[in-house]
Structure 1
Amino acid sequence: MIIRSLLDTDLYKFTMMQVVLHQFPAAEVEYRFRCRTSGIDLAPCLDAIRAEIDALCELRFSEAELDWLRSLRFMEPDFVDFLGLFRLNAKYVQLGTAPDQNGGIELIVRGPWLHTILFEIPLLAIISECWFRHLQPQPDLSTARARLRDKMAMLKQFGDDACRIADYGTRRRYSADWHDELIVMLADTLGPRLAGTSNVRHAMIHGLTPLGSMGHEYLQACQALGPRLRDAQSFAFDRWAHEYRGDLGIALSDTYGLDAFLRDFDLYFCKLFDGARHDSGDPFVWGERVLEHYQQMRVDPTSKSLVFSDSLTIPRILELNRRFRGRTRLAFGIGTNLTNDAGPTPLNIVIKMVRCNGQPVIKLSDDPGKVMADDPSYLAYLRQVFDVPASERT
């Protein structure tokens, strides 16, 4: 059994889920799977994936897990009580072969947002681990251990004491067992240089800080849930602030591209939110532009945080740290390169929301390869509304 706890997911799934319960409980959504890695055929893994999904849907939150969630000051009692009754339901998942699809399978999750939001991360972790079990029935983690030791040594040797990393690698990890071992190695070796983890189960077990705020699906859903499309991003930020009243104040910046983000991230939001997260495009350009924006808004950049989380490696983290240290607060969330560097090529897989309340929803991104749209006319309309040239996002 790959997923042994419903806490084995990213914190931001719970923080978004609480907003859904309180503000959008009737929303209906659809998610679709995509494998961006060429030459992959996941069809031989279908039976194993189905069995893992059935096992996932038997899980419930334990009382100890619920008590730990209650200890987080931003988790409301009624939400944790709801989780005490919650379980995932396989009826919302459609899985089958799709020879013409990249990856050889079709995976659709469709149903109430409140009851489907927790599927994404465990499903991706299941698919990734089933694939690597198929490739390597007898896994050898010696390469993974050696590479991790090298990364930790590099961080300690060249990074200053304030250069800290966080584990963001649940969704595309090599295996759950390797993730367990890796967290212990990181905590024992890095000490305070390990800022925390996005994985809620590991945060609970190892006494680490759970990290995360909002994801793209939340801002995408607001395309259908807000008063008008042009205000979808501002509406999302406003509803988030209404829910958390100053907690979890990191705004995701690339759902509509950086230009649109900076237009919407006015003085009010600059002061209200603690910082912004980078997840696509050139991180150096992004950092310079966000810091310049704070200065234009007459907000002290050193009082704010830049969170980098897009395809990070230790050398890239050290470069970013050298560029921006002393100019702002910095945070680095490292994912696949941390939890799936065991030898075989990791899968570049995603599950993205594509519809909300029957309407198409799209993430434009600052990386053309991350755009996932099944409605070209709506994509063109969204570009027009947010003034994003088609040539930059195709």
Structure 2
Amino acid sequence: MIITSLLDTDLYKFTMMQAVLHQHPGAQVEYRFKCRTPGIDLARYIDEISTEIDLLCELRFQPDELAYLRAMRFIKPDFVDFLGLFHLDRKYLTLRPSRQVEGEIELIIRGPWLHTILFEVPLLAIINEVWFRNTSQPDFEEGRRRLQAKVARLAAPGYEDCRVADYGTRRRYSRQWHGELLPLLREGWGERFVGTSNVYFARRYGMTPLGTMAHEYLQAFQALGPRLRDSQVAALESWAREYRGDLGIALSDVVGLDAFLRDFDLYFCKLFDGMRHDSGDPFVWGERILDHLQQHRVDPRGKVLVFSDGLNIERVMGLFDHFKGRCRLSFGVGTHLTNDLGPEPLQIVIKMVRCNGQPVAKLSDSPGKSMCDDPGYLRYLRQVFEVQDTPDAE
């Protein structure tokens, strides 16, 4: 059994889910799976994946898990009470071999946002682990060697204030390897290692669980907000109403950085603690964010820039060298930590594509990372937010 606890997911799934419960409990959504790595025959293992999903849907939150969530300062008692009744329901999920491409799978999640939001991360972890246990022999010694080299590299003098977190749940080689590497990172990096996005392992090892919001939260407001042009502002204001200044890291690339900066006015510059980068050139992004804060008379040294897009240790160190002393910095590293044992990691995602029957999309700052099932809507979204048209939709 790959997933043994419903806590084995990223913290931002719970923080978003709480906001959905309180503000949009009736919203209906659709998610779709995409494997961006060519030539991957997942259909061969569809029965094994399906069995693991059945086991996932049998899980319930245990009393000690609920008590752990209840102790978090930003988690409300009524949300924990709801989780005490919650389980993932297989009826909201469709899994079948692709009708268009041999070897691919179609995975569609369709139902109430409140009851489907927790599917994404464990499903991706399941698909990853099923694939790797059938197509490779784990070389944990090689994985430990590579991990120790990364630990030693960042432990070099001058990086004592560099802060790194694990963001690799959905991309991990296996749950076993994920659980083994986290204590090694804490032992090797000490205070440089600030925690993990994975709630299960944060609880198990006494680490800090980290996370705020994901793209789906802002995407949904394209169908929930007062009008499309105001959807990003509506999502950020909704978040502020829910958390009253807590969990104050804003995601900046749902409709592109240009549109984000137009919406992120003085009010948001003062209200939010920082911004997270997840696509586009991180150096250009950071410079533009710092300049934007200064133009609004906000001291960047009091704000945190969180970098989380495909990072490795060399890129972390380069970004730290470039921006240190000018702002606070944090780095979320995923695949480079949790799936670096030799075999090529899979590029798989599950993205929200519809909300309340309407298409929604992410306009990424990196070509190829956008995902939408309605090209006409994607063109309209670009027009509304004045984003240059590029052929990067899937």
TM-score by length of 2: 0.98
Q: Distance in 2 between matches of 1:186 and 1:323?
A: 24
Distance 2:71 2:55 in 1: 28
- The structure 1 segments of at least 4 consecutive aligned residues displaced by more than 6 Å after TM superposition are none
Please give the alpha-carbon distance, in whole angstroms, between the structure 1 residues aligned to 2:103 and 2:73.
Answer: 41
Alignment match, 1:217? 216
Find the aligned partners of 1:26 and 1:99 in 2 and give their Cα distance.
Answer: 31
Q: Report if aligned partners of 2:369, 2:392 keep a CA contact under 8 Å in 1.
A: no
Aligned ranges 1:327-338 → 2 under 5 Å: 327-338=326-337
The question of whether the paired residues in 2 share the 8 Å contact of 1:34 and 1:103 is answered with no
Answer yes or no: is 1:155 the counterpart of 2:158: no
Q: Secondary structure at the match of 1:108?
A: strand
Residue in 2 aligned with 1:52? 52
Partner Cα distance (1:143, 1:102) in 2? 33
- CA distance in 2 between counterparts of 1:159 and 1:72 reads 33
Alignment of 1:264-275 (within 5 A): 264-275=263-274
Which whole-Å CA distance do the structure 1 matches of 2:260 and 2:101 have between them? 32
Residue number in structure 1 paired with 2:36:
36
1:118 matched to 2:118: yes
Amino acid at match of 2:142: T
Residue equivalent to 1:193: 192
Q: How many residues align?
A: 393
Give distance in 2, aligned partners of 1:149 and 1:340: 14
User: Do the aligned partners of residues 202 and 102 (structure 1) sit closer, same or farther apart at CA in structure 2, a change above 3 Å counting?
Assistant: farther
Shift of 1:368: 1.7
5 Å-filtered alignment, 1:234-313, equals 234-313=233-312
Please tell me the residue identity of whatever aligns with 2:70: R
Whole-Å Cα distance in 2 between the matches of residues 268 and 139 of structure 1?
Answer: 50
Aligned residues of 2:29 and 2:352 also touching (Cα < 8 A): yes
> Which SS does the other structure have where 2:170 is aligned?
coil
Name 1:166's counterpart in structure 2. Answer: 165
Does the 8 Å contact 1:38/1:102 carry over to 2? no
Q: Deviations over 1:78-102 (max 9, x none)?
A: 0000001100011111001015348
**Contact between 1:203 and 1:209, CA under 8 Å: does it hold in 2?**
yes
Deviation at 1:184, TM superposition (A): 1.4
Using the TM superposition, give the Cα deviation of residue 272 of structure 1 relative to its aligned residue in structure 2, in angstroms: 0.3
Please state how far the C-alpha of 1:276 moved relative to its aligned partner. 0.2
User: Over the residues paired in the alignment, what is the CA RMSD in angstroms?
Assistant: 1.1
1:391 Cα deviation from its structure 2 partner: 3.4
Partner residue, 1:97: 97
CA distance in 1 between counterparts of 2:19 and 2:275 reads: 19
Query: Does the aligned pair in 1 maintain the 2:166–2:196 contact within 8 Å?
Result: yes
Query: In the aligned structure 2, how far is the partner of 1:377 from the partner of 1:284?
Result: 32
Distance 1:177 1:107, change over 3 A: same
Which has the higher mean CA deviation after the structures are superposed, 33-42 or 100-109? 100-109
Give unpaired runs (5+ residues) of structure 1. Answer: none
Residue pair 1:366, 1:393 contacting (<8 A) in 2 also:
no
Is contact 2:97-2:103 (8 Å) kept? no
Tell me which amino acid in the other structure corresponds to 2:166: D
- Please tell me whether the aligned partners of residues 61 and 83 of structure 1 are also in contact (alpha carbons under 8 angstroms): yes
Q: Deviation string for 1:278-325 (max 9, x for gaps)?
A: 000000000000000000000000000000000000000000000000
Partner-residue secondary structure (3-state), 2:379: helix
Work out the percentage of aligned pairs sharing the same amino acid: 67
Q: Distance between the aligned counterparts of 2:148 and 2:102, measured in 1?
A: 34
Indicate whether 1:130 and 2:142 are aligned: no
CA distance in 1, matches of 2:139, 2:373: 39
Measure the CA separation in 1 of the matches of 2:186 and 2:330. 17
1:140, CA displacement in angstroms? 2.2
Cα contact 2:20–2:114 (8 A) shared by 1: yes
Separation in 2, partners of 1:118, 1:281 = 27
Native 8 Å contact 2:139 2:342 kept in 1: no
Gaps of 5+ in 2: none
Q: Report the CA distance between 1:170 and its aligned residue.
A: 0.2
Q: Which amino acid aligns with 1:9?
A: T
Return the alpha-carbon distance in structure 2 between the equivalents of residues 191 and 61 of structure 1: 31
More off after superposition, 94-103 vs 72-81: 94-103
Residue pair 1:34, 1:102 contacting (<8 A) in 2 also? no
SS of equivalent to 2:64 = helix
Within the alignment, does 1:81 sit opposite 2:81 as a pair?
yes
Q: What SS does the corresponding residue of 1:65 show, helix, strand or coil?
A: helix
Amino acid at match of 2:197: S
Which one-letter code corresponds to 2:214 in the other structure?
G
**Greater shift after overlay, 274-283 or 97-106?**
97-106
TM value normalised by structure 1: 0.98
SS of 2:156's equivalent in the other structure is: helix
Specify the SS of the correspondent of 1:260: helix
